[in-house]
Homo-oligomer: A and B are copies of this chain.
């Protein structure tokens, strides 16, 4: 596997925001804002715009009223407006669907939406309104003290092809990866980053294209545990799908939640800084029991089987997913 990123003529900065389709906007808002403590920046008839306490841009999570659950798009911020034209050229050159959007999301400038080679709906944007810095408004902190969006995790039928695209054409670097036990091994999952930590985007082998989860960073382990306590106290313990636990891969202390529409989010802390571009990616075997949960707990089958359908950037219809090329879970998960 060639793990060296390409050097594109544009600069993707980081995971920027996700748009979750929700069937009941009030119910979803209550889950994210009243229980988990997301900051509500703005709300209109069809959308609620949320962010974490550390973030100084308008939103990192959009809840959009829709007829069914799913993910409208995942979005990356780029370094300049011109980068958007460069990204348009790249995608057109590879005959990938592109669409410009403007005035659709509050607080955001024009954006380029593309369907990536795996079928994921990806948005690129540069301009977004600033928002009041609440990092030191500790008197306003509520819920799990969600600090910021960290990454997206997506299931795709063919990880090797998708990973090559993000590494060679979009400039993502690999922090860690998982291979099958075959000889030669196949790439089963990969953690890719632009900002200086473990990932902005993880790609896992599975039924896809689907968005598995959006990961939000919290500042300590207590914040993760408090999320469990709060949800259980509110009679929503069934929203806790997996964890709290420690990932071997990434070292993160994690919790997976399903929102009222079963879209999945992760609360996450404890990964590490990667400030050296010559970082040597860490290899894991799919059947290493410490890879997924360092403490040895098996993930539930739902964690491997269920994920959010994604929209076509052309018409907003949901993209039919395809089966994966490889078995979708470790041998010890049944």
A residues sitting closer than 8 Å to B (CB atoms) are 13-14, 35, 54, 77, 79, 130, 133, 135-141, 147-148, 194-197, 219-222, 225-226, 228-234, 237-238, 240, 244, 246, 248, 251, 253, 270, 272-273, 275-278, 280, 282, 289-290, 294-297
Knowing A138-B232, A221-B225 are in contact, say whether A238-B275 is a contact too (CB < 8 A). no
B225 touches A14 (CB 8 A): no
| A-B interface, 7 closest residue pairs, ranked by CB to CB distance from nearest | A237-B296, A138-B229, A195-B275, A138-B233, A196-B196, A14-B275, A139-B233
Collect the chain B residues with CB atoms within 8 Å of residue A237's CB: 289-290, 294-296
Collect the chain B residues with CB atoms within 8 Å of residue A240's CB: 295-297
Q: Which residue of B lies closest to A133 (CB)?
A: B282
Q: From residue A273, how far is it (CB to closest CB) to chain B in Å?
A: 7
Collect the chain B residues with CB atoms within 8 Å of residue A54's CB: 272-273
Collect the chain B residues with CB atoms within 8 Å of residue A251's CB: 135-136
A246 touches B228 (CB 8 A): yes
Q: Which residue of B lies closest to A150 (CB)?
A: B273
A136 touches B248 (CB 8 A): yes
Q: From residue A289, how far is it (CB to closest CB) to chain B in Å?
A: 7
Q: From residue A136, how far is it (CB to closest CB) to chain B in Å?
A: 6
Collect the chain B residues with CB atoms within 8 Å of residue A277's CB: 13, 79
A246 touches B275 (CB 8 A): no
Q: From residue A322, how far is it (CB to closest CB) to chain B in Å?
A: 33
B290 touches A77 (CB 8 A): no
14 further A-B contacts with Cβ under 8 Å, apart from A139-B234, A232-B246, are A13-B277, A77-B276, A136-B229, A138-B229, A139-B230, A147-B272, A194-B275, A195-B196, A195-B273, A197-B273, A225-B253, A228-B295, A240-B295, A240-B296
Q: From residue A200, how far is it (CB to closest CB) to chain B in Å?
A: 9
What is the CA–CA distance of A129 and B102 in the complex, to the nearest angstrom? 50
Query: Which has the most chain B C-beta neighbours within 10 Å: A225, A280, A297?
Result: A225
A270 touches B228 (CB 8 A): no
What is the CA–CA distance of A54 and B251 in the complex, to the nearest angstrom? 10
Q: From residue A74, how far is it (CB to closest CB) to chain B in Å?
A: 16
B219 touches A270 (CB 8 A): yes
B195 touches A233 (CB 8 A): no
Q: From residue A206, how far is it (CB to closest CB) to chain B in Å?
A: 24
17 A-B interface contacts by CB (under 8 A): A54-B273, A79-B278, A130-B280, A135-B251, A135-B272, A136-B229, A136-B251, A139-B233, A194-B275, A196-B196, A221-B225, A225-B246, A228-B246, A232-B246, A232-B296, A238-B296, A240-B296
Q: Which residue of B lies closest to A272 (CB)?
A: B54
Collect the chain B residues with CB atoms within 8 Å of residue A270's CB: 219
Collect the chain B residues with CB atoms within 8 Å of residue A133's CB: 282
Collect the chain B residues with CB atoms within 8 Å of residue A79's CB: 277-278
Collect the chain B residues with CB atoms within 8 Å of residue A280's CB: 130
- Cross-chain contact of A222 among B13, B220, B228, B273 (Cβ < 8 A): B220
Collect the chain B residues with CB atoms within 8 Å of residue A296's CB: 232, 237-238, 240
